[in-house]
Amino acid sequence: MKIFRYFFVGGTAATSDIGLFSLLTLIFQVHWFVASIVAFVTATFVNYFLSIRFVFKSGGKHKKHHEILGVFLISGISLFFNQIILFFTIEKFHIMPLASKCIATAILFFWNYLTRKKFIFE
């Protein structure tokens, strides 16, 4: 059941990530690298707050500050891979940035769920 709730939470966070990325790159002409970092960090906040509200029990496994640190540590690793995926898809394979962002988000979805479930929340 949690995976289905995480699909909702992850989908909402992904929508905020992709939406902000699109706004920054298409409207404000921010370079994809910077736009991706800003959007990813924002989506991480969205994901964390929705996750502890609808999916995971906050404070059950770790103290709150360790929990937040763990989320951002895992998200930092995800951001690293996100940027690598975007680099290759945009710069090497010449895929449009928005499509590349969707690809990266889809690839990292299960990594985020599984690592948060295993190491942070339960």
Question: Hey, how many other C-beta atoms are within 10 angstroms of the C-beta on 21?
Answer: 28
- What is the Cα Rg of the chain in Å? 14
35 vs 71: CA distance, rounded Å: 21
> Are the C-beta atoms of 36 and 101 separated by less than 8 Å?
yes
Query: How much is the pTM?
Result: 0.88
**Residue 29, token pair as written in the block:** 């002409």
Show pLDDT as tens, one digit a residue, over the chain (122 residues).
Answer: 788 898 899 899 999 999 999 999 999 999 999 999 999 999 999 988 998 898 887 777 778 888 888 988 999 999 999 999 999 999 999 999 999 999 999 999 888 888 988 888 87
